[in-house]
Amino acid sequence: MEIKNVVIAGAGVLGSQIAFQAARFGYQVKIWNRHTDRAERRLAAIKEPFIKETGATAADYQAAMDNIVSISNDLKATVADADLVIESVSESVEIKKVFYEELCPLLPEKTILTSNSSTFIPSELVGFTDRPDRFAHLHFANHIWKHNVAEIVGNPQTKPEVIDELVAFARSIKMVPVVLKKEQHGYIMNALLVPLLNAAMALWANGVADPHTIDKDWMISNGSPLGPFMIQDIVGLRTTYAVVLNQYEQTHNELFKKIADKLKPMIDAGHTGVEAGQGFYHYPNPEYQDPDFFK
């Protein structure tokens, strides 16, 4: 099957970027989001970093946007002719379960269904779908146009030809496809990154050091361009909170609950990261851009 019509379900920070990247390379893209105004804002927010990081022009940005043919909260209409659906709703198993149960009866038989989740592996979500042989995970990195990896992993029932089609799709939008040989929480990217983020948040939750000090130490000592709390702000603290709660539910490790309890007041106050204008830093001029930050 040739993939032509792509649906992104959930236009959060990463979902909106996936939609943009597919549209950029000629796919007819439809976006489903419960709040269409939020999806529109996130797509607009892509323009500046996309141009800055790729050397593209405003015309290039607009050409991609012209291939996003609809942004809607009407799920039935959005997926009516979908060849590929990439689910990118909140990292909560209950939210995903409810969404798949609503989505699957509406899908054409031909549709390949994927999830951008790395918190959950395909085997943990496939039972909510009606097409185990056409279900896999397709996971991207933030700032997709720059960090162009697409991690692909199936469940035990995924047909090999479906994996092949996802590899071809990934290449067509200028991703480097990485096919995992078996299921692994976090895949490769987040299996390496999440322990760092957890360690940083544990230092904060246990009162060892504040987020700015932790970031400063990490960046100076390792030459890293970003500290762990800067990364959390980019990802968005709602996502971080959902991931930490899931880790607590899976492990019953009280440290994860302690971290979640530290994050909750920030989220309640609306301080959820870059998109909100405040998280561990203040935006659009975060403290780490001040030359004195590293003194």
Residue 130 lies in a domain: yes
Q: How many residues does the chain have?
A: 295
Close Cβ partners of 146 (under 8 Å, ≥ 6 residues apart): 53, 54
Q: pLDDT tens across 4-40, in order?
A: 999 999 999 999 999 999 999 999 999 999 999 999 9
Last residue of a domain, which of 179, 211, 232? 179
Residues 53, 95 share a domain: yes
Residues 268, 153 share a domain: no
Is 96 a residue whose pLDDT tops 90? yes
What is the rounded distance in angstroms from the CA atom of residue 80 to the CA atom of residue 240?
32
Residues 242, 126 share a domain: no
Residue 116 lies in a domain: yes
Residues 170, 66 share a domain: yes
Neighbours of 32 (CB within 10 A): 29
Residue 245 lies in a domain: yes
What is the rounded distance in angstroms from the CA atom of residue 116 to the CA atom of residue 194?
16
DSSP annotation string for 278-294: BSSSBSSS-GGGSGGGG
| pTM for this predicted structure | 0.89
Last residue of a domain, which of 121, 146, 179? 179
Average pLDDT, whole number, for the chain?
Answer: 96
Residues 101, 209 share a domain: no
Is 288 a residue whose pLDDT tops 90? yes
Residue 295 lies in a domain: no
Q: Do residues 205 and 262 touch, judged by C-beta distance below 8 A?
A: yes
DSSP annotation string for 232-272: HHHH-HHHHHHHHHHHHHHH--HHHHHHHHHHHHHHHTT--
What is the rounded distance in angstroms from the CA atom of residue 29 to the CA atom of residue 175?
17
Is 1 a residue whose pLDDT tops 90? no
Residue 136 or residue 1, greater confidence: 136
Tokens 């996309």 sit on residue? 50
Instruction: Look up the domain containing 142 and give its range.
Output: 5-179
Q: Is 227 exposed, middle or buried (0-12, 13-18, 19+ CB in 10 A)?
A: buried
Residues 267, 145 share a domain: no
Residue 116 pLDDT grade (very low, low, confident, very high; cuts 50, 70, 90)? very high
Residue 236 lies in a domain: yes
Residues 133, 193 share a domain: no
Last residue of a domain, which of 125, 146, 179? 179
Residue 151 lies in a domain: yes
- Write phi, then psi, for 268 (nearest 5 degrees): -60, -30
Question: What does the pLDDT read at residue 250?
Answer: 87
Residue 163 lies in a domain: yes
Residues 109, 213 share a domain: no
Question: How far lies 233's CA from each of 74, 141, 269, 275, 280, in Å?
Answer: 30, 15, 15, 8, 7
Q: How many domains does the chain have?
A: 2
b/e map 91-106, b = 16+ CB within 10 Å: bbbeebeebbeebbee
- Write phi, then psi, for 26 (nearest 5 degrees): 95, 0
Residues 202, 132 share a domain: no
Q: pLDDT tens across 207-260, in order?
A: 999 999 999 999 999 999 999 999 999 989 999 999 999 899 989 999 999 999
What is the rounded distance in angstroms from the CA atom of residue 246 to the CA atom of residue 241?
9
Residue type, 41: R
The CATH number of the domain holding residue 285 is 1.10.1040.10
Residues 150, 62 share a domain: yes
